[in-house]
Amino acid sequence: MTRWPPEHEELMLAAAELYYFEGLTQSEIAARSGVSRWTVGRLLEEARQTGVVRIVIDHPRARQHDLELKLKKTFGLRDAVVMALQPRPGDTLGSIGSATARKLCGIKPTLRRLAVSWGRTVAAVAAELPVGWARGVEVIQTNGGLAVARGNPIGDSLHALAEKGPGTVRALAGPAILEGEATARALKSEASIARTIDLAERSPVMLFSPGTVGPDSVLVQSGYVSADQMSTLQDIGVVGDVMSHFLLPDGMPADLDLDARTLSISLDAVRRCPTVIAVSTGEPKKAATLAAIRAGLVTTLITDSSIASYLVESGSGTAAGSAGPPIPNKKE
């Protein structure tokens, strides 16, 4: 701790106690102490900067600012929001969804186009958005799948994002992964699908949650990837997916044949997007989130404190299984 002359230390402590415990204004403290208001402000700032005064916000939805700063410094992210891990996973998901909703509502000027990848986490974000969050917004599906049909919470998430705008949704009418490369090429050349992909790729803001690998993956449960295929992907080192593109720990595409059969916007288009918001919570998403960052697919990360700590340790080269230093992020 910094050492001050005794008289300076006593004055700083007195100012801090009067300000934080008794609620006096800086002007009142200055008058009582016989110093200027500027001096009182400087003393209070010294007390905060040196740790004499520590401000703690004790609430389950409080942000973890120290981890946010470390994430931005370690990975060159433009922004990071870290929420405390809750005892119940559902509460953490709600907290993450609420934080993401606030981030979307705070974008200025108001969003007119938002490219979104469907999934459970995005459904949680949609549930937290207020009505009127972005009037006239067009929500565009980035990858094929469940959003083309109503009637399930995941598929309904894009419609909820649009309806709460209020705005419209442009669905990508096709499966996430096709049976053959020729089929995928033919489908992508169809006018309405080509138009949807083009609009999504030129969107100023994209929103996604890194997908997991394993039997609980939404791609497995929705039938686009079989359990055996997912097991094979795990065997070759796949750690997750971004918009149905499977990634290795270093952020490289894992299976080029499978990637060619994927109905989705390109990863290069994601890298070109000015603002890409990744939302991630839960132990299974740790490695996928790191891969997405290393692939240069994230400008803003909204996550929980457990994933944030893992990422910071991995970026520092101290976490088990780290795939090496992060690649540089996209230009701001």
Mean pLDDT of the chain: 87
Highest mean pLDDT range out of 18-22, 167-171, 174-178?
167-171
Do 149 and 293 belong together in one domain? yes
pLDDT attached to residue 329: 47
| SS3 call for 205 | strand
Average pLDDT over residues 236-257: 91
Average pLDDT over residues 261-283: 96
pLDDT attached to residue 16: 92
Do 24 and 106 belong together in one domain? no
| SS3 call for 57 | coil
Model confidence at 325: pLDDT above 70: no
Do 45 and 75 belong together in one domain? no
* Total tally of structural domains belonging to the chain: 2
Tell whether 302 is covered by a domain.
yes
pLDDT attached to residue 62: 72
| Radius of gyration for the alpha carbons in the chain, expressed in angstroms and rounded | 24
pLDDT attached to residue 332: 39
Tell whether 57 is covered by a domain.
no
Confidence tier at 154 by pLDDT (50, 70, 90): low
Residues paired with 240 in a beta bridge:
247
Tell whether 324 is covered by a domain.
no
| Sign of the C-alpha dihedral computed for residues 120, 254, 72 and 88 taken in this order | positive
Do 221 and 73 belong together in one domain? yes
Neighbours of 133 (CB within 10 A): 21
DSSP one-letter string for 96-122: HHHHHHHHHHT-SSPPSEEEE--SHHH
Confidence tier at 1 by pLDDT (50, 70, 90): low
Do 44 and 164 belong together in one domain? no
pLDDT attached to residue 321: 33
CATH number of the domain that residue 17 is part of: 1.10.10.10
pLDDT attached to residue 316: 63
Model confidence at 157: pLDDT above 70: yes
pLDDT tens for 50-91 read: 888 887 766 666 788 889 999 999 999 999 999 998 888 889
Do 170 and 219 belong together in one domain? yes
DSSP 283: G
pLDDT tens for 45-59 read: 999 888 888 877 666
pLDDT attached to residue 180: 87
Backbone dihedral angles phi then psi of residue 139, each to the nearest 5 degrees: -95, 120
Confidence tier at 323 by pLDDT (50, 70, 90): very low
Residues paired with 302 in a beta bridge:
81, 279
Answer with the residue of higher pLDDT: 328 or 1: 1
Neighbours of 184 (CB within 10 A): 21
Give the angle subtended at the CA of 100 by the CAs of 327 and 72, to the nearest 5°.
Answer: 30
